[in-house]
Amino acid sequence: MNKVSVIIPAYNQGSYLREAVRSVLDQTHRDLELLIVDDGSTDDTRSVAESFFDGRIRYIYQENRGLSGARNTGIRNSSGEFLSYLDADDLFSTEKLELLTRKFDENAELGLVAGQAIPIDTQGQEIGHLYAAPPPKEARCWLLGNPLHVGSVLVRREWQERAGFFDESLRSYEDWDMWLRLARLDCKFGWVAAPISFYRFHPGQMTRNSPQMTQATFAVLDKVYSDPDLPKSWHDLRSEAHSNAHLRATASFYSARDYPQAQQHLCEAIRLNPALVSGEAQILASRLAAFAESPKISDPLPFLQNIYDHLPEDLESLQRRRRKDLGQAAVKAGFLAYQKGDLSRAHACMLQAVRYHPGWLANRGVLSILIRRRNAALKEAGMENPSRQDGG
């Protein structure tokens, strides 16, 4: 078996660290070492790390240098043929390393293999949709965004050494920067279409820091485009890449309810990529709906309503879609609530949908939920056969 070095950078995540470590020690691939790099924590990170009695674990303390600095310390002290990174608040599935090393065994040309991630909340309960996008087929398309969760990746050491260390000047998106550098080196990326990690969403994570994430996004792109040897095909994507970055910032600032910043980034995204609002602005509407369904958003419908309530004044093409798009989002939320057994929530969403667009009353699924909730309410009120009331 190929030895794998798993690196956990830990900064004041003692409450989650124990579970993260256990997820590594429980791997079906047993030939591994685990390096826990304590990046100057002031909580119980040290005591949690030292509570495990397993010869495969190494605990390293350093003064705070940030996430990239902690990962780099792990790289310098590791010895595995392959490297894997796990943030202290995330988890591996038990077969993660086995599945990814098997992919390397099947194709010796691969430099990085990734898989899917399951979003979870603070209690470890699954939320939202799988992080399921594979690596881009074209190297330059990495410019359009980072589809990977760092905990779902395994890198061959040879390629990590060619790309170098994580950029310690970046406070966020340092993993995206790394994948871009590997892509520029013509690294071959592999994909396993299976969930192999758990990506935890909680109030304290840095991805909720809108200014920091936005600054890092553009810092990564600036770094790429400062390369004098960058191929023309990469330059051709410059406007679209920056437009996508502005769209991500738009969603982040809407989530933070910083409407002036959100509107500014939205207008810039459209300026750089007018196709977003061509026709009936279908592309832009779809992108905003996708942002609403991110695991970072606890309730997609109010988030999307908030966007449409605070659009730039001159964005008429999207404003005209408001009732249609919000009605559709309400129906989607209603069906999801119904699948979870929450008939009351499903009913409320369907009523919202009908208020936005009365045409939803012609939808049999919507009408069925409205009737079921009505009948349930009548039954609760003591009506033995509520359905008989329909005939008057």
Most confident of 13-17, 125-129, 369-373: 13-17
The answer on pLDDT for 206 being more than 90 is: no
What are 59's strand-pairing partners?
Answer: 36
Tokens linked to 350: 């369907």
pLDDT 10s digits, 311-324: 999 899 999 999 99
CB atoms within 10 A of CB 35: 25
CATH number for the domain running over 4-202: 3.90.550.10
What are 195's strand-pairing partners?
Answer: 116
**Chain-centre distance for alpha carbon 106:** 28
For the entire predicted model, the pTM comes to 0.91
CB 35 within 8 A of CB 8: yes
Domain ranges of the chain: 4-202, 208-280+297-320, 323-392
Residue 1 confidence class, pLDDT cut points 50, 70, 90: very low
pLDDT 10s digits, 267-278: 999 999 999 999
Q: Is the dihedral of CA 313, 314, 320, 324 positive or negative?
A: negative
Whole-number average pLDDT of the chain:
93
